Every structure is written in C-alpha cells, then in structure tokens.
Chains A and B, each alone.
Chain A
Amino acid sequence: MQRDCPGPTARVLPTRPGGPPLDLSPLLEERGRVDPRIYVDPEVYELEQERVFGRSWLFLAHESQLERPGDFITTYMGEDPIIVSRQDDGSVAAFLNQCRHRGMRLTQEDAGHTRVFTCTYHGWTYDRGGRLSSVRDEREIYRCPVDRDRWSAVRVPRVESFHGFVFGTWDEHAPSFRDSLGDAAWYFEPLLDGVGGTEVIGVTKWTVHCNWKFGAEQFASDGYHFGMSHLSALKALMSQVPGAPRTMQEATPPPDGGRQFKNAQGHGALMAALPPNLMRGARLAFEPKANEWLLGPRQDFLVRKYGEARASVFIPASNLFPNVGILPAANALRVWQPKGPEQMEVWSYVIADADAPADVKQAIRLGNQRTFGSTGIFEQDDTHNWTEIQRVLKGRRARREIFNMEMDSGTQQDAEGRFPGTTANRSSSEVAARAFYRRWASLLSTEGAP
C-alpha cells in the first residue's frame, strides 16, 4: 500500500488568475490533482463544448419516446438544441433545432408529433428529417429557389441505437458507439438491456448550480461520499423500513468493499459499493413489486442472456463518458446537461423492462422518484454539496488551490478474473475519477473533428 502512495504535492499549476493557460498534464499523468478552475473557467468550458461534447457519443433519446413516424423529442448535445425524430422508414434522425435563415428554434416543445417543423419567425418549414421543405413566399421574394440541400437543418451525422438507447455524435470518424465503450460494454450492456427491451417511463428535469463534471465524476468513481452525504436517508430508512439495514454500520458501505472499473475511454463504474439490501430496502419501503420483478424475472433474463458473472455484478452507479450517469439502483439513466460553466440540468429518465407488467412499472417509477428523483431522499444531499462547492469556488484563493484526487492509486486485474479491464479492488477509490479526467484532458488538449 505504502509503495503506491504519492509523495508531497508539488505546486505544478499556474497560480496567477487569468494567467497562463491551465496545465492539464497532472490530469493526463493521472497524478490525482485537479485545478478547480476547470469547474469555473469560461475558456475551459468553451473548449470542452467543442472538443468533448463536439466529439463524444452523447445520449439523445430512448426509442420508446418515439413510437410512430413523426414523433419527436427535443434535447441538447452540449448546449446545442437538438430535435430527435422518428422517420417514415422507422429510423431515427437528429438535427439542430435551428432555422437556417435566422437561427430561430424550430420547435419549443419538449415532445410531440408533427409532419413538419415550421419556424415561427419567418415561416421556413422543415420535414421530419430536418430537410428544408418550403420557404414562405419563396417565388415572390427570393425570385430564385432556395437551395434545399444547402439550407436544410444541420444533421447529426452519426446516430446509433444501443438496446433502444439512441446516441449521436458530431464526429463522423468516431468509432461505433459499441466500440466507444471498450471493455466497459461488459458492465454497461446488461444494465441497458431488459426483458422485452427497455422503455422510458418518466422524464424529470431539475437545475443544479454546479459544473456538470461534479455529477459525472461522482457517478463514475465516488463510493466514498455515500456514508457521509447520505446519512439522513440512511437514518430515515433504518427507522422506517422493514428489511432495511438496522445499524449505521450495516448501512454504510465498507471503505474497502466492492470494486471500481475505469477505462481509457473515460467510463467508470462502482461495483457493490452499497450493501445490496440498502437500495432494495429503499424500494421495499414503498413498492415491494419493484423488487420482486428486479430480483425475479429481470434477474433470470440477465442470467440467461449474459451469464451468471455479468448478471450478478451489483452496480449502484456508473458514468458513461462524458455525461451519462447510469444508476441501476434507481432504474435511472440521467444526463448531466451543461448550462454554462457553473450550472447544469439533470435530465433523469426512469427505465423499465418493456415486458414488465404495468403495476411493476409504476412501482419502479415510484421507487426511482423517492430515492434519486428530483425530490429523492438521496438526491437532495448530492445537489446541496455540489452547489456549495461551486459557490466556494467564487473565491479567488479557493479556486486556485488544487483538489486532492489521490485516493487509492493502485489498480489491478481482478485475481479471479471475474471483472474485465482495469479495476480497483475497493469502491472507495478515485481511479475512475482520474480516468474520467484523463480522457477529458486528452480530448481537451487535442484538436480534431468538427
């Protein structure tokens, strides 16, 4: 253990506010030091919009939100507004929610069904695929026809569906979505698959006044916060719920328990960081039907399709690089939507097995809402901590003192070969956080793509 411990922290980062560019090399070298200006600096934010969000695979929609041709939802890729729409041939297209004439939004709804999108400014009209279909008074005003190809809405060039989850990237040369997962596919695929497929049974959105990376980093890597941040929920569960842990010790994850996965693509996952009876207890508190389904038919399906080893890994939280948090413990997929350097929105999607009975879906939805929804008994403490960090970073001195991310420098192959890729042998580790920032810094420091 001592062998892996880092030496005294050398000051390697620039200290002059507004001075030289941020030195990202400590992140690249995985030394575990973070310059907190990466959470506040507008230039870093602009750069990550271009180089991280401009090149990565980003979550767009779930196919169940787009049942019929003409169904659409609106979302964001970084801060770019996007329309995701079911085409007449059944495929899914995504394009910028922006009129090519003066840049007005083409639709302001969250979701709907339409044949065309008509800009409310001057009346240019686009079809379901974003192709410019008519220009109002074209003949009388423009005299020459407006070039439909040149002035169609900007299409997201690559859109792929993975078990019904639709992702898109601006990078035409990016590896396929599955390849972009690397060995994280072993962990993520069973989470994103379901009995009869999966469907979205609810979407909730809330604002958090913090940088989006706080969410991503925590879901990828932070098993450490649980036993402190969530004491109130643990205490409430213990006092109220039959089947929940009975002592604080039982409820709090052991610091050396579980494992943590990371990879070079920046994905991370916590494994068995929480006592499994905790989340089950939380759901049991309200709706035993959810647990019966998840531990019964769903588990049977996963064992049959993916084998005992993959099906039995308990993953309380994980982050699909860059900004998709997967929270199997609450049946949630969430997107950390960046809204400027100091604000994000959490878009929380409740996921259920498509073939689950209606009352089970309802139970799953309620279980999600009460644990990690906008009002969830766990959720509120995370957002509180994150917004306070962001507020502290308004201080000139506060934002120039580097953060310590040095916990548990040792990673290893699982001796029994149960877990592919590189894992840490404890869930309280920061190896996946360092991998997340390493990938982020590597994208940030290289030019490329659109």
Chain B
Amino acid sequence: MSTAPTLHVPPLVPGPALQYELEQFLYAEAALLDEHRLEAWLGLFTPDARYRVPVRTNRVTREATREALESQDASAHFDDDLRGLSLRVARLTSGLAWSEYPLGRTRRLVSNVQVRALDAPGEVEVRSCFLLYRTRQEHAVDLFAGLRQDVLRRADAPGAWRIAHRTVLLEQTVILAGNLSVFF
C-alpha cells in the first residue's frame, strides 16, 4: 500500500508576527506601484538589488523542470540592477512615456505568501503569487499572473525591509500585452 504524498508546508519562521509584517510590506509595495509612486518604490531596493523576469517557453514534460530552473543568464524580459530599474523609472516618470500616457490603471492582488528563513542574518526568502489587472485608455485590459521569489533584507528602521533579489515567473510565453510598461 502506497503512502499518500505529504504536502510540504514551510514552517512559519520565526512565527506569525514576521509573517504578518512581511505580508504588510508586500501590500504596501503593491500600493506604491498601483499609485504610480515609482520613485518611492525604487527606494525599496537594496543597492545590490537584482530584478529578473525570465522568458518562459513551451517544452516537453521531461524538459519542463529544466525550463523552470533556467540559468541566471537565460533570456529575460527584465534583468536589471538598480541602475537599470532607475533608468526605466526615469523614462516612465518623464511625462513623455507614451505607453503610459494617459497612465494605465492597475490593481495588484498579492497572496500565497510563504516565508523561509535564510542563513544570512536579517534575510528571508518570501514567495508570493500575484494577479495584476491593468486597464488603459478606454477598454484595453491586460492580466498578468505570476510567482515572485524574493530575498528581503531587514533595513535599519524597525519593521522596514528592502528587496535584494526578485525573480518573477510570469505565466505567459508570448507576452499577450502590447508592452510591459509595468513592474511586478
């Protein structure tokens, strides 16, 4: 008789208080983006930050795991350090970025937050799922769903966190929106 597979639930480390704190951080971050406060959002990243959104591809099942664990230099929609993100924000806030003119309206739903402690002191790995609804102009609608794997680092101020590393797995191979002028 076979044993049923056990569902692995990461332990809450180090407890509900931290879980709550990190969830609130992610919600606050989503609000900054939805409110187009991009320069404030940029301030959430550490100086050595990396922000990646790799390209997904359709592969046979036996190659699917390989695809999901793509190497760090694989094709990406975004692969930015802080300077790269700053340049994108400078463009979007120039008042001349036609793809966001008039500004798109977005709402980010963040859920399935799972926290894991890391060896480095003050660092945690946080996985979260998101659904990003965007509408532009009269009736253009884009939906993006995905998984984010973040390494968050404690900042000096109490309760403050910084994003040191973010990988976003978007669930689209061909991007169905006309442009990716949004951050995830």
Name A's B-contacting residues (CB within 8 A).
Answer: 108-112, 114, 201-209, 229, 231-233, 235-237, 239-241, 285-286, 345, 350, 358, 362, 365-366, 369-370, 373-375, 377, 379-381, 383-385, 387
Q: Are B76 and A369 in contact (CB under 8 A)?
A: yes
B58 partner, pick from A108, A240, A286, A370, beta carbons under 8 A: A108
A286-B84, A369-B79 known; A232 vs B174 contact (CB < 8 Å): no
Q: By the criterion of a CB under 8 Å from any partner CB, how many residues of chain B are at the interface?
A: 40
Stretch from B26-34, B96-104, B154-162 at the A interface: B96-104
* Chain B 72-94 interface 0/1 with A at a Cβ cutoff of 8 Å (1 = within): 01111111110110111011101
7 contacts between A and B (CB under 8 A): A204-B55, A206-B179, A345-B174, A373-B77, A380-B179, A380-B180, A381-B98
Q: Are B55 and A236 in contact (CB under 8 A)?
A: no
Query: Within 8 Å of chain A (Cβ to Cβ): is B8?
Result: no
- With a cutoff of 8 Å between Cβ atoms, the chain B residues found around residue A383 in the complex are 99, 178-179
Closest beta carbon of chain A to B51's beta carbon, Å: 11
- Report how far A111 CA is from B73 CA in the complex, Å: 18
Number of A-B residue pairs, CB cutoff 8 Å, is 128
- With a cutoff of 8 Å between Cβ atoms, the chain A residues found around residue B59 in the complex are 109-112
A109-B59, A369-B78 known; A208 vs B94 contact (CB < 8 Å): no
Query: Within 8 Å of chain A (Cβ to Cβ): is B111?
Result: no
- With a cutoff of 8 Å between Cβ atoms, the chain B residues found around residue A385 in the complex are 98
- Report how far A143 CA is from B91 CA in the complex, Å: 68
Query: Within 8 Å of chain A (Cβ to Cβ): is B173?
Result: yes
Q: Are A207 and B83 in contact (CB under 8 A)?
A: no
Query: Within 8 Å of chain A (Cβ to Cβ): is B9?
Result: no
- With a cutoff of 8 Å between Cβ atoms, the chain B residues found around residue A109 in the complex are 57-60
A229-B98, A385-B98 known; A365 vs B75 contact (CB < 8 Å): yes
Closest beta carbon of chain A to B148's beta carbon, Å: 16
| 13 more CB-based (< 8 A) A-B contacts, given A114-B60, A232-B92, A235-B96 | A112-B60, A202-B75, A204-B55, A206-B175, A206-B177, A206-B178, A235-B91, A236-B90, A241-B87, A369-B79, A383-B179, A385-B98, A387-B178
User: Within B140-184, which residues are at the interface with A (CB < 8 Å)?
Assistant: 140, 173-181
- Report how far A198 CA is from B137 CA in the complex, Å: 42
Q: Are B57 and A366 in contact (CB under 8 A)?
A: no
- Report how far A385 CA is from B178 CA in the complex, Å: 10
Closest to A209 in B: B178
- Report how far A28 CA is from B92 CA in the complex, Å: 41
Closest beta carbon of chain B to A251's beta carbon, Å: 12
Q: Are B96 and A206 in contact (CB under 8 A)?
A: no
Q: Are B94 and A202 in contact (CB under 8 A)?
A: no
- Report how far A206 CA is from B55 CA in the complex, Å: 11
Query: Within 8 Å of chain A (Cβ to Cβ): is B119?
Result: no
- With a cutoff of 8 Å between Cβ atoms, the chain A residues found around residue B48 in the complex are none
Q: Are B75 and A203 in contact (CB under 8 A)?
A: yes
- Report how far A235 CA is from B94 CA in the complex, Å: 7
Q: Are B92 and A207 in contact (CB under 8 A)?
A: no
Which 9 pairs from chain A and chain B are nearest by CB? A202-B75, A236-B91, A236-B90, A206-B175, A380-B99, A232-B97, A232-B96, A384-B99, A231-B96
- With a cutoff of 8 Å between Cβ atoms, the chain B residues found around residue A286 in the complex are 81, 83-84, 87
- Report how far A204 CA is from B140 CA in the complex, Å: 22
- With a cutoff of 8 Å between Cβ atoms, the chain B residues found around residue A207 in the complex are 174-178
